Every structure is written in C-alpha cells, then in structure tokens.
Amino acid sequence: MTLAAILMPLLALCVVARGIGFLPLLGLVAAAAMLVDGHTPLQQAGAAMAVVFAIGPVLFLLRYQHDAARERTGSAIPFFALGLMVLLLLACTRAGVAVFPASLCVVVAGLVSVICRQSMVWQWAGLLTCVEGVLLCGVQAFQPSVVGVAGLAGAVVAVLGGMCIHRIMPRVVPLRPPSARKKSSPDSPEKNGDAA
C-alpha cells in the first residue's frame, strides 16, 4: 500500500468538507497511486483519465460564479463519511480483505457528498470523486472492463454535468475600467452571458 493510496481517502474527505477545490489534488494523487506499481497501458490510461476528470471540471468552473449560497453548513457530514469509511474497513476486514480499501473509501466519501450536499457543484465533485475511486480500484485489481466503464461514467458525468452547470450557473463577467466603458458605443451592448 502506497502513501498515495492512504492520502486519497483524506483528500476525498476534504472534498466532502470543503468542495471541489481539492479534486485536482485528489486526481493527481490517484494518478500517482496508479503509476507507482508499473506503467502498463491500463495503468497509464487510468492515470490519464483520473487527471482529466479531476482537473478539467475545475478549469471549466473558473468561468462561472461560485454557487455556495444554497449550501447549509453541514459540519457533521465529513464525520458521517468518516464513520462510513470505518464501517467499510471493518466489513472488508471481516470479509478477509487484507489490503486497506482506500479506493472504496474514496467512493464512499463521494457518495456522501452527492447525497448530503445540496449545491450542484458539490454533488458534481462527489460524483467525480466516485469516478476517481472506481478508476483506482479497477486499475489496482487489473480489471480493464471496470476501468473502461468508470471512464465512460466519468465522461458522462463530466460532460452532462458541465452542460447543466453551463445552463444553470451565472458566468463570471469581467469588470472593465470606466475609461473602456466610455469608449464602447451605446448601440453595441455587451453580452452578459446566458445565466438563465
């Protein structure tokens, strides 16, 4: 078990507690955990997908405004996720699994984020966290079909979630200095995005 695989549940808990900002780090650590044992095509493909699904959505969200207005505090939610992780660990130990199920702990944290958070971006981050966990688990178990299905599910979640966010969330409008505003003619109004 590598240090990267131990760090992943912690980072997944950070996603549950603080939001999508920790997702790129989670993706990079997942990619490192996949590549630490070798560089087979399955591992390389899994690592590439993990990085793309972690960094792409965060870069995409830079164009939109923050939507934390609907979110309640929810300080107990990370502890709920932690409790479920401990339960999973105990169940796996009872079932005879010798290795710490880091990737499934990541999936559990992502599911808690999807179910307990109200903000759409947070739920999106939870689903992408699940994708990272299933990808890592599939790569570690050398199951190409699971890695392929996780990649497909990740693409579906990333693309359709991005489309929904594009249609729901307001865009970031860059502020211009007053001098630039005076220069622009009144008969060519600026576009303010398609927030509605």
Partner 1 sequence: MTGTAGAGMFLAALAFVWPFLGAAAVCAVPVARSRELAIWMSAIGCVLALAVFVFPASGAVAAGWDDDPVQRAGRVMLAFGLLLMVLENGILHDRLVRSLPHVSTALAGLACIAPDPAVGLGILEAALAWGVFVFTRPAGQARMGWGLIRNGSVGTFLVLSGLLLPANTVVSGLLMACGLVVLTGLSPFGQFWQDENDTFLFLPFAGAALLLAMRLRTHGGEAFETALVLCGLLSVWLTACAGRFPDRQRLFRTFPSALALIAVGIQADVAALLFLCGWCLAGGGRAGRGWAVNTLACFPPGAPFVGCLLLLSMMSDWSWPLALLTVAGILAAVTRAVPARDITHHFWPQDAAGRVACSVLTATGLLVPLAMMLGAF
Contacting residues toward partner 1, per CB under 8 A: 88, 91-92, 94-97, 101, 103-104, 107, 110-111, 114-115, 120, 123, 127, 130-131, 133-134, 137-138, 141, 143, 145-146, 148-150, 152-153, 156-157, 159-161, 163-164, 167-168
Distances (CA, A) of 72 to 15, 113, 119, 125, 128: 15, 13, 9, 17, 21
- Minimum CB separation from partner 1 for residue 93, in Å? 10
Residue number with CB closer to partner 1 (82 or 127): 127
- Minimum CB separation from partner 1 for residue 183, in Å? 35
Three-class SS state of 148: helix
Residue number with CB closer to partner 1 (31 or 117): 117
Residue number with CB closer to partner 1 (160 or 176): 160
Residue number with CB closer to partner 1 (164 or 173): 164
Distances (CA, A) of 70 to 74, 86, 156, 162, 169: 12, 30, 25, 19, 12
Residue number with CB closer to partner 1 (96 or 177): 96
Residue number with CB closer to partner 1 (4 or 130): 130
- Minimum CB separation from partner 1 for residue 99, in Å? 11
Structure tokens at 80: 């709920």
- Minimum CB separation from partner 1 for residue 141, in Å? 6
Smallest Cα–Cα separation from 106: which of 36, 57, 53, 145? 53
- Minimum CB separation from partner 1 for residue 175, in Å? 27
Which of 69-98 are b and which e, b meaning 16 or more Cβ less than 10 Å from the residue's Cβ? eeeeeeeebbeebbeebeebbeebeeeeee
Smallest Cα–Cα separation from 46: which of 58, 30, 25? 30
Task: Quickly list DSSP for 165-176.
Answer: HHHHSPBP----
Distances (CA, A) of 78 to 19, 118, 159: 11, 14, 27
- Minimum CB separation from partner 1 for residue 176, in Å? 29
